[in-house]
Amino acid sequence: MKKIFWYFLLIFIVIVVLSLVVIINKKINVNNPQSKDEKTEKLEFLNNIDKKIDYFHYSYLDRYVNYKQSHSDLSDIDIITRVNLGLDKPFYNETKPSNLLNKITILVNKYTYLEKDYVPNNLRTISSIFSNAEKELVYEAKEAFEKMASNAKENGYTIRAISAYRSYEYQEGLYNKYVEKDGIELADTYSARPGYSEHQTGLVVDIDNGNTDFNLFEQTEEFKWMQENAHLYGFILRYPKGKEEVTGYDYEAWHYRYVGKDIATFMKNNDLTYDEYYARYIDK
């Protein structure tokens, strides 16, 4: 009888222990639904890109996987870059204030904004020789623009500023006018909402050649000159053709942003938008 008792007691203990193990495992899985195996599997789905770049955020892992599943045509690097920018979510959703204020590396787009009262430091008026009216840029950008326009003139080209720094209030009036004319959905493709306009940084200039409507700037010789030389003065074409899904805006051949010579040259050589450059090399 004693042997039978101890035999059943042993069986009972084993059952209790196994039950406890099952319960504990279930609790672990509830509190940490992404087990090590699941994480490994997801990283493998991304071809272990986390080991190849330094701007991979493990907290975005599920977002990376979901975005890749719906954008299988993109490279893994593009997947990571776009999710880091917030492109897996609708424009103007989960926005945040821009950092790097008064720096030439500041990013302003449809996910990052400037406060209503933000005015950049050191705004200076562009020489009337190179503008159609009083236009302002941050000093460093203004100096670079005037040098670029001057060198262009020496080579027989006219580069003229037709829009530069815009206050929040100015952009608000402009955007509202476009919305009234075309509706919000269409206006959002070509005009920034107030607070989300790069023009408020004082680092952006819209240009023409003094003879042709700015909308037709791509057809001018000045555009060709800018394509070949803008980076030498620290300027980039901010909203290039074929990158609309990244920038959130229609192609604008006349809209240039100052980022400094080094960044502008790197971007040109690597065919990057500023959004992509920012996500990979600044906002890590």
| Residues with a known catalytic role | 252
Query: For residue 26, which amino acid is it?
Result: K
DSSP state of 131: B
CA 140 to chain centre: 23
Query: For residue 168, which amino acid is it?
Result: Y
* CB neighbourhood size of 74 (10 A): 15
| Token couple for 43 | 């990283």
Length of the chain: 284
E strand segments, the chain: 96-97, 112-113, 123-125, 136-138, 160-163, 204-208, 235-237, 255-258
